[in-house]
Amino acid sequence: MDVELKVSESEVINLSSFQKFDDGSGWCVVVNIKSGQFSCSDVNLYFNDLNCFYRELKLIYENLKGGAQLKTNYEDNHISFKATSLGHIELIGMLREGNQSFNFYFEFDQSYLPDFLQQIEAVLEYK
């Protein structure tokens, strides 16, 4: 099952191959992320609680406040969403593999979140 947030041709994140455990933790593969002219692909992203991430992201959409982070406490890799005071959403993250790291950032309006939220909800409901 895939999840994609595509703001433009140069601002895209694709997540795939979700593995979930009973406690809400798990991992997925960052199949592709493009931020401007830079991109990264095929990096594992571990997370503590996909349900919590979904709820926090939904609150960002509904209230244009707060943040949501997909990560585990034990690794640097993360994807974070944050509402700004100007009514936009920031996507910030870092993916590390060995000695290499990829930091990314792009900003978009909340109208891109409903489809992304539906895709995450489908992953949560998938057994």
Q: How far is CA 112 from CA 76, 83, 95, in A?
A: 26, 13, 23
62 close to 110: Cβ distance less than 8 angstroms? no
Q: How many domains does the chain have?
A: 1
Q: What is the CATH number of the domain that holds 110?
A: 2.30.31
pTM of the predicted model as reported, rounded to 2 decimal places: 0.92
Domain that holds residue 76: 3-125
E-strand spans in 9-76? 11-20, 26-35, 38-47, 67-71
Question: pLDDT per residue over 89-104, tens digit each?
Answer: 999 999 998 899 999 9
Question: pLDDT per residue over 7-65, tens digit each?
Answer: 999 999 999 999 999 898 999 998 899 999 999 999 999 999 999 999 999 999 999 99
Q: Which of 13, 46, 29, 20 is nearest to 121 (CA)?
A: 20
